[in-house]
């Protein structure tokens, strides 16, 4: 959340608000000041992180967002405790990373909610103990979760990018101390609506960007954990495609047939 090098949304470099690339005199903008869909790029020194030279870049690239965000949400933001109950809405890479983080913290019950039945078996690998397909339910999801957890989950995570799900997640956590963490970025209706009684009952709602990590100082330690086999990354990579197959990668993502697809530049 650095005020100097915050999220750059205009496609320009921080230092002079200009681009470093152009084609035939026309500027080529930098997505989030990164421009990672290019063989060579220019970034601000404050945005570059020195990592273990032995770490495979085609694996640790997953720590740039999804995996790191989910682990951080479980560890830094929620601070999941041993023996606690957790419910995760959305079992993509971010949601499954939350599950991995919760499992490593010793959570006793990790419920995963998704509308894609193919996620059920996959989710077990990352620590999900119970899979719920919300399309198969005849009663509200919060009621089901409260019954399964004995009153509501200690921690609830919204990993879909839907503010309606954020409300559902808040309704699904325990009275008194239940915490809901929202990680998704909504495509529509950015306002969250919830009955004030949910907060009076002691529940809390928190948001997080990149799981609360400080990239410059924390990414190297996450990479060390991967190199020491303390966290899983390889298991999230379901496809490896060449860069010219980038549109196929988007199709796989939209159809829910992949977790993370790594694109390889031509050599």
Angle at 39 between CA 36 and CA 45, to 5 degrees: 55
Per-residue confidence (pLDDT) for residue 82, from 0 to 100: 98
Q: What percent of the chain has pLDDT over 90?
A: 78
CA 75 to chain centre: 13
Task: Clarify whether residues 125 and 202 are in a common domain.
Answer: yes
Per-residue confidence (pLDDT) for residue 26, from 0 to 100: 96
- The residue from 163, 191, 212 where one domain ends is 212
Whole-number Å distance between alpha carbons of 92 and 85: 20
Closest-CA residue to 154 (of 130, 178, 175, 172):
178
Residue 215, helix vs strand vs coil: helix
Whole-number Å distance between alpha carbons of 106 and 81: 7
Strand-strand pairing, 26-28 and 21-23 = antiparallel
Per-residue confidence (pLDDT) for residue 31, from 0 to 100: 82
For 27, the domain range is 1-48
Q: Is the CB of residue 111 less than 8 Å from the CB of residue 87?
A: yes
Per-residue confidence (pLDDT) for residue 205, from 0 to 100: 96
- Indicate the average pLDDT of the chain: 93
Task: Clarify whether residues 89 and 154 are in a common domain.
Answer: yes
Per-residue confidence (pLDDT) for residue 81, from 0 to 100: 97
Whether residue 225 lies inside any domain: the answer is no
Whether residue 222 lies inside any domain: the answer is no
Distances from the Cα of 225 to the Cαs of 63, 77, 138, 161, 233, in angstroms?
11, 19, 42, 28, 10
Task: Clarify whether residues 130 and 32 are in a common domain.
Answer: no
Task: Clarify whether residues 93 and 133 are in a common domain.
Answer: yes
Task: Clarify whether residues 7 and 41 are in a common domain.
Answer: yes
Q: What is the DSSP letter of 156?
A: E
Token output for 126: 């990352």
Task: Clarify whether residues 41 and 145 are in a common domain.
Answer: no
Q: Where residue 115 sits, what CATH number does that domain have?
A: 3.40.50.720
Nearby residues of 237 by Cβ (< 8 Å), 6 or more positions away: 59, 62, 259, 260, 261, 262
Whether residue 143 lies inside any domain: the answer is yes
Whether residue 93 lies inside any domain: the answer is yes
- The residue from 194, 212, 230 where one domain ends is 212
Task: Clarify whether residues 116 and 187 are in a common domain.
Answer: yes
Q: Environment class of residue 156 by beta-carbon count within 10 Å: exposed (0-12), middle (13-18) or buried (19+)?
A: buried
pLDDT tens profile 174-188: 999 999 999 988 888
pLDDT tens profile 95-118: 999 999 999 999 999 999 999 999
Q: Where are the alpha helices (DSSP H) in the chain?
A: 57-60, 66-72, 93-104, 119-125, 141-149, 163-172, 196-200, 215-227, 246-254
Whether residue 229 lies inside any domain: the answer is no
267 residues of the chain, pLDDT tens digit each: 777 777 777 888 888 889 999 999 999 998 877 778 888 888 888 888 999 999 999 999 999 889 999 999 999 999 999 999 999 999 999 999 999 999 999 999 999 999 999 999 999 999 999 999 999 999 999 999 999 999 999 999 999 999 999 999 999 999 999 999 999 888 888 899 999 999 999 999 999 989 999 988 999 999 999 999 999 999 999 999 999 999 999 999 999 899 999 999 987
- The residue from 212, 229, 260 where one domain ends is 212
Counted domains in the chain? 2
Per-residue confidence (pLDDT) for residue 65, from 0 to 100: 87
């Amino acid at each position: 959340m650095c005020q100097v090098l915050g999220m750059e949304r205009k496609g320009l470099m921080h230092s002079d608000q200009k681009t470093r690339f152009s084609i035939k005199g026309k500027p080529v903008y930098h997505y989030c000041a990164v421009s990672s869909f290019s063989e060579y790029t220019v970034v601000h020194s404050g945005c570059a992180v020195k990592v273990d030279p032995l770490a495979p870049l085609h694996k640790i690239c997953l720590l740039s967002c999804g995996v790191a965000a989910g682990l951080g949400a479980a560890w830094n933001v929620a601070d999941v405790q041993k023996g606690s109950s957790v419910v995760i809405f959305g079992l993509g890479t971010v949601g499954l990373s939350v599950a991995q983080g919760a499992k490593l913290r010793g959570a006793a019950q990790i419920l995963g909610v998704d509308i894609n039945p193919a996620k059920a078996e996959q989710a077990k690998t990352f620590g999900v103990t119970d899979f719920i397909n919300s399309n198969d339910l005849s009663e509200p999801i919060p009621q089901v979760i409260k019954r399964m957890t004995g009153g509501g989950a200690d921690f609830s995570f919204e990993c879909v990018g839907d503010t309606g799900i954020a409300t559902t997640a808040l309704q699904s956590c325990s009275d008194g101390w239940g915490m809901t963490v929202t990680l998704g970025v909504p495509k529509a209706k950015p306002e969250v609506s919830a009955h004030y009684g949910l907060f009076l009952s002691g529940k809390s709602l928190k948001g997080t960007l990149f799981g609360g990590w400080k990239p410059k100082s924390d990414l190297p330690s996450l990479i060390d954990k991967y190199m020491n086999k303390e966290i899983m990354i390889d298991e999230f990579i379901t496809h490896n495609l060449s860069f010219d197959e980038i549109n196929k990668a988007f199709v796989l993502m939209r159809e829910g047939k992949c977790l993370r697809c790594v694109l390889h530049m031509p050599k």
